[in-house]
Amino acid sequence: MTIESATDYLLSLGSNLGDRTLHLQKAIAGIEGLVGTAVLSCSDVYETDPVGFLEQPAFLNLAVSIRSVLSPKELLVSLLGIETAMGRVRDIRYGPRIIDVDILLCGTEVVADPPLLIIPHPRMHERAFVLTPLAQIAPDAVHPQLGATVSMMLETVAGREGVRWHSTLFQNDCERTES
């Protein structure tokens, strides 16, 4: 019998300071450590030209899908906690960060508790550094407000040349079986 209801979320992770790969790995470990939360799949890592604030180092970005009993608000607070515990300091807007974890989609739900909690992520469809890794793990996920799949959004997004394959984090593509 199921005693808790879980929700599937798609997340975007990024780092452009220090050991970027290590920061991504630590954040994924932190997400797996959240109560009632499992990482289902994890994209490859992409090196991406900075967007928004250009004079900063290149990012590593990836996408993960998770299943969690946490509500969107609980998940957001937990992810901000992971960022802070890892030492993220918020100074320059759109500036360099050791880790950034954003909620992109929560199934096909629309969730709004602005300014911090807005799902779908308001600019996900404009960002090749979000859509390229996401298309690897969830090409058919649908943006509930645009009625477009991730593959469709990737086809039309600008700046795809600023996204380059970098590495694979996990040999098994981060695919986990339920235990």
User: How far apart are CB 14 and Mg ion at their closest, in Å?
Assistant: 6
Asked if 129 interacts with ligand X6L (CB under 6 A), we say yes
Counting Cβ atoms within 10 Å, is residue 7 exposed (0-12), middle (13-18) or buried (19+)? middle
From the list 46-54, 71-79, 103-111, 134-142, the region that binds ligand X6L by CB under 6 A is 46-54
Asked if 96 interacts with ligand X6L (CB under 6 A), we say no
Tell me how far apart the alpha carbons of residues 66 and 58 are, in angstroms, rounded to a whole number: 26
123 is catalytic: no
Catalytic annotation, pick one of 67, 88, 91, 160: 88
H or E stretch at 155? helix 150-156
Amino acid symbol at 92: I
Provide CB contacts within 8 A for 21, sequence distance 6+. 45, 60, 167, 169
Catalytic annotation, pick one of 90, 100, 113, 176: 100
**Scanning residues 100 to 119, which ones bind ligand X6L (CB under 6 A)?**
100
Name the residues annotated as catalytic.
Answer: 88, 97, 100, 102
Give residues in contact with Mg ion (CB under 5 A). 100, 102
